[in-house]
C-alpha cells in the first residue's frame, strides 16, 4: 500500500472511530463535514485543484434518516478499506462493486451497528 493510501485509510478509519467513541460514550453520533455548495469551493493555487472551503455542516444520527446516512458512510469506508487491502483503487471498479453489494443489501434494516463493528474488527 502506498503512503498516500495509508494516510487516507487512517483518516477514514479515524472518522469511524470517532463515531464509535461517541456511541460508546452514550452520545448520539455526529460528524462535521465540508458543505458541498458552490459558495464553499475554492481553487488551490499550489495543487491546482478545486477544494472545499471552511464551511461545515453537521450530520447527526438524531433522526432515522441521519442515522442511515452515517451508517451508509461507515459502510462505504469499510468498502474502501477492503478495496485498498486488495490493491484495488479504480473508481469505476469500486463503484460497480459497491453497487452490486448495495443490491444484495437492498433492505435498509440489513445495515446495523454490528456492521460498523465488523468493519473496524472490534
In this prediction the pTM is 0.64
Query: For every residue of 37-83, which 3-state class applies, written as one string?
Result: CHHHEEEECCCCEEEECCCEEEEECCCHHHHHHHHHHHHHHHHHHHH
pLDDT in tens, 29-64: 999 988 888 898 889 899 888 888 899 999 999 999
Grid coordinates representing 76 are: 462505504
Local structure of 31: helix, strand or coil: strand
**Tens digits of per-residue pLDDT, 56-111?**
999 999 999 999 999 999 988 888 888 888 877 555 555 555 555 555 544 443 44
DSSP 119: H
Amino acid at each position: 500500500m502506498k503512503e498516500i493510501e495509508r494516510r487516507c485509510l487512517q483518516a477514514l478509519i479515524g472518522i469511524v472511530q470517532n463515531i464509535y467513541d461517541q456511541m460508546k460514550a452514550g452520545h448520539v453520533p455526529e460528524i462535521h463535514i465540508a458543505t458541498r455548495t458552490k459558495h464553499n469551493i475554492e481553487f488551490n493555487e499550489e495543487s491546482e485543484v478545486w477544494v472545499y472551503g471552511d464551511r461545515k455542516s453537521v450530520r447527526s444520527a438524531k433522526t432515522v434518516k441521519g442515522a442511515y446516512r452515517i451508517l451508509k458512510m461507515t459502510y462505504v469506508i469499510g468498502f474502501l478499506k477492503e478495496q485498498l487491502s486488495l490493491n484495488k483503487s479504480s473508481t469505476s471498479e469500486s463503484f460497480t462493486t459497491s453497487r452490486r453489494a448495495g443490491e444484495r443489501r437492498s433492505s435498509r434494516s440489513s445495515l446495523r451497528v454490528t456492521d460498523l463493528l465488523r468493519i473496524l474488527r472490534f
